[in-house]
Amino acid sequence: MPHPLSVPLPLPLLMILTLTLTLTLGSGSGAPRMKVRVKLRASYYRRTCPGAERIVAEAVTAKQIANPSTAAGALRVFFHDCFAGGCDASLLISPDSGPGSGSSAAAERDAEINRSLPGDAFDAVARAKAALEQACPGAVSCADVLALAARHLVSMLGGPFYPLRLGRRDALFSPAPSSAHVAPDLPRTNMTAPQLIALFASKGFTVQEMVALAGAHTVGFSHCKEFAGRIYNFENRGPNAFDPALNPRFAQGLQRACASYLKDPTISTFNDVMTPGKFDNLYFQNLPRGLGLLASDAALFVDTRTRPFVERYAANQTAFFEDFALAMEKLSAYGVKTGRDGEVRRRCDAFNDHP
């Protein structure tokens, strides 16, 4: 799975409780940009739902224990939601969800690039939201639930715990799959480093932040179809020809594991074959060894702009954790909606009914 203003945000700025951000919103479609003043704060639910963070943590912890793939899935859902139109829970809307402010026939979640997102991640958010509605009805947005869930689950796997400011509102619509706010805004597994750099730069993320966020691939899995072109008939050289950038034993193991992927598209392999259930820096250590699963992963070790960060994180897990935390804190504030720009949904998979 995949995935920075020219200078990372300074740590003192990240640690203050109240922050006014000026975010530049736009999409890969070349849509007009607009600036929105956003106020988020860590203490947002201090009065309306003081136990919000604990309630979310308890719900998603139980889900992760029962289904260990939940954490990686939630992290991926969070990234896909934020990068395509902002962190507003628009991705959580189910197609044909019924009356609401957005389309009830199609939704962002139904876009092809989002169809492989794991159901356990959506279920984890739904369980947390249900628990919150019992404790403090109508108080906590689904966008905040998703952000809190992703942070807690990353820390459960051994990753960093980073600051989060709260107060996001939920989107009033969910773009249809054909919308320019979905696929063009998300990185593809076959993208080159220049393409990735350009995509992230269009959203205000630096090369360093992009590489740090790519470290999320240290957990989770990818379906064989996402990298089949690297392990079968690479560049039309023969049925068993594989990308020479891959470690030969690794490539042959992938060929065996994915042999039936055309008949069963659900077949998948871990992104990090060394420590797939642990959030660490092995992802970066794997890249120079030819153990990067996706073409977009391998590309990071080739490009002269991204390789120094790969090498830095491979050698220093603390540096990776620090930069990942900063990048995630920044990502969590991307394109957020507040006030009348959104709502607090009663259910995360459906819009509220409006008169």
Domains in the chain: boundaries:
51-220+271-333
User: 283-289: long-range contacts (C-beta < 8 A, 24 or more apart)?
Assistant: 283/214, 283/215, 283/217, 283/218, 284/215, 284/310, 284/311, 284/313, 284/314, 284/320, 285/314, 287/314, 288/314, 289/247
Task: Show the tokens assigned to 312.
Answer: 């830095």
User: In the predicted model, what is the mean pLDDT of the chain?
Assistant: 88
pLDDT reading at 98 higher than 70: no
Is 90 marked within a binding site? yes
Is 272 marked within a binding site? yes
Q: Give catalytic residue positions.
A: 80
SS3 209: helix
Is 297 marked within a binding site? no
Is 187 marked within a binding site? yes
Quote the CA–CA distance of 62 and 353 in Å, as a whole number.
31
Kindly report the CA angle at 312 between 2 and 329, in degrees rounded to 5? 50
Report the pLDDT value the prediction gives residue 20, as an integer from 0 to 100: 40
Report the pLDDT value the prediction gives residue 183, as an integer from 0 to 100: 76
Q: What is the per-residue pLDDT across 234-281, written as a single tens digit (0 to 9) for each?
A: 999 999 999 999 999 999 999 999 999 999 999 999 999 999 999 999
pTM value is 0.86
Is 144 marked within a binding site? no
Quote the CA–CA distance of 79 and 219 in Å, as a whole number.
14
- Higher-confidence residue of 85 and 212: namely 212
User: Across residues 137-163, what is the average pLDDT?
Assistant: 98
Report the pLDDT value the prediction gives residue 111, as an integer from 0 to 100: 87
Residue position matching structure tokens 């809190």? 148
Quote the CA–CA distance of 283 and 273 in Å, as a whole number.
9
Q: Are 167 and 47 in contact (CB under 8 A)?
A: no
Kindly report the CA angle at 267 between 262 and 271, in degrees rounded to 5? 125
Report the pLDDT value the prediction gives residue 26, as an integer from 0 to 100: 38
Q: Which CATH class is domain 51-220+271-333?
A: mainly alpha
Quote the CA–CA distance of 287 and 75 in Å, as a whole number.
21
Kindly report the CA angle at 65 between 321 and 273, in degrees rounded to 5? 55
pLDDT reading at 325 higher than 50: yes
User: Across residues 25-37, what is the average pLDDT?
Assistant: 40
Report the pLDDT value the prediction gives residue 32, as an integer from 0 to 100: 38
Is 86 marked within a binding site? yes
